[in-house]
Amino acid sequence: MKRFSQLMFLQICILSILFLPFSAKDEQLTARDDSLTWVTALDELIRTAPDLEGAISGISVRDTSDTSLLYEHQADIRLTPASNMKLLTSAIALDILGETHTFPTDIWMDGSIQKKTLHGSLYLRGTGDPTLLEEDFAALAKQVKKAGIHTIRGQLAADDTWYDDTRYSIDLPWSDEDQYYGAQISALTASPNQDYDAGTIILEVKPGKKAGQKADYEMIPKTDVAQVINQVKTVPEDGKKKISFKRSHGTNKITLTGTIPVKASSSKQWVALWDPAAYALDLMKRALKAEGIQVKGPLKTKQVPKKAKKIASHSSMPLSELLVPMMKLSNNTHAEILLKELGKKVKNKGSFEAGLDVMNERLPAFGVDPSLAVLRDGSGISPINLVSANQFTLFLTNIQKEQWFKTYEHALPLAGASERMVGGTLRNRLKGPATLEKVRAKTGSLTAVSTLSGYIDTQGGKTLAFSILFNHLVDDEKGKEIEDRIVSILAENL
Domain ranges (residues) in the chain:
45-100+319-493, 104-166+276-315, 200-272
**Higher pLDDT pick, 367 / 471:** 471
Residue type for position 258:
G
* Average pLDDT over the chain, rounded to an integer: 92
Q: How confident is the model at residue 394 (pLDDT cuts 50, 70, 90)?
A: very high
Q: Check pLDDT > 60 for residue 249.
A: yes
Kindly report, residue by residue over 291-318, the tens digit of the pLDDT. 999 999 999 999 999 999 999 999 999 9
Q: How far is CA 271 from CA 30, 72, 254, 425, 468, in A?
A: 58, 41, 8, 21, 31
Please list the alpha-helical segments (H only) found in 103-241.
Answer: 134-146
Q: What pTM was computed for the model?
A: 0.90
What is the model's pLDDT at position 27? 29
Q: 242 catalytic, yes or no?
A: no
What is the model's pLDDT at position 11? 43
Candidate list 86, 285, 328, 344, residue with the active-site label: 86
Candidate list 57, 186, 330, 388, residue with the active-site label: 330
Q: How confident is the model at residue 33 (pLDDT cuts 50, 70, 90)?
A: very low
What is the model's pLDDT at position 165? 96
Q: How confident is the model at residue 21 (pLDDT cuts 50, 70, 90)?
A: very low
Q: 90 catalytic, yes or no?
A: no
β pairing state of 112-114 and 151-152: unpaired
How many other β-carbons are positioned within 10 Å of the β-carbon of residue 431? 16
Candidate list 83, 191, 316, 453, residue with the active-site label: 83
In CATH terms, is domain 104-166+276-315 a member of 3.50.80.20?
yes
Q: What percent of the chain has pLDDT over 90?
A: 91
What is the model's pLDDT at position 8? 39
| Strand partners for 230 | 256
What is the model's pLDDT at position 7? 38
CATH architecture of 45-100+319-493: 3-Layer(aba) Sandwich (3.40)
Q: Across residues 110-121, what is the average pLDDT?
A: 94
What is the model's pLDDT at position 36? 64
Kindly report, residue by residue over 69-109, the tens digit of the pLDDT. 999 999 999 999 999 999 999 999 999 999 999 999 999 99
β pairing state of 463-471 and 56-63: antiparallel
Please name which of 216, 218, 221 lies closest in space to residue 199, comparing C-alpha atoms. 221
Q: 112 catalytic, yes or no?
A: no
Kindly report, residue by residue over 163-214, the tens digit of the pLDDT. 999 999 999 999 999 999 999 999 999 999 999 999 999 999 999 999 999 9
Exposure pattern of 368-399 as b/e (b: 16+ CB <10 Å)?
Answer: bebeebebbbbbbbbbebbbbbbbbbbbbbbb
Cβ atoms 56, 470 nearer than 8 A: yes
Complete edge-to-edge strand list for the sheet that includes strand 299-301: 299-301, 156-159, 122-126, 104-109, 309-315
Cis peptide before 221 (omega within 30 of 0): yes
